[in-house]
Amino acid sequence: MTGIAQFLKVVVNVSDVESGLTFWSALTGLEPGYIDPLGNFAGLGSVPVVGEVVSSVILLQLVPEQQRPVHSGAHVDLFTDDVSRAVEQAAAIGATLVRPIGFYPDHDPMLTDDKPVLEWAVMADPFGNEFCLINHA
């Protein structure tokens, strides 16, 4: 299938690139790659060079605090085999719990024997960017 555009990277707005690198590297295990000499961008998880441009899986973009919306309307989904443990580990490096661990779809086992598709929790990084920790059931 051909789309209008191809996925390139996820861009996360941060108010401090250095602490953003520390947080997102610890959360995802991705190594810092490209760091903009002016301090406006930093990449995690370098991917092959396209022409002369090195791309990243996650790009941190410096955005002054007063220019950031409360919710961006986009987020990153991260897979884990243990949502509870991942929530604790993310909190230990500065994330906050936005939506407690739950299952999708929510269901009452007394009414249906369908199993949930996934277990998930919503967290926010130290800059308020939300991300989901997901384990497919």
Q: For the chain, which domains are there?
A: 9-65 (3.30.720.120), 75-137 (3.10.180.10)
Q: What is the pLDDT of residues 26-55, one digit of tens each?
A: 999 999 888 888 888 888 987 555 555 556
Amino acid, single-letter form, for residue 14: V
Mean pLDDT score across all residues of the chain: 82
Residues of the chain with pLDDT > 90, as a percent, come to 36
Question: What are the angstrom distances between the C-alpha of 136 and each of 35, 74, 113?
Answer: 33, 20, 17
Alpha helix (H) ranges present in the chain?
Answer: 17-28, 83-92
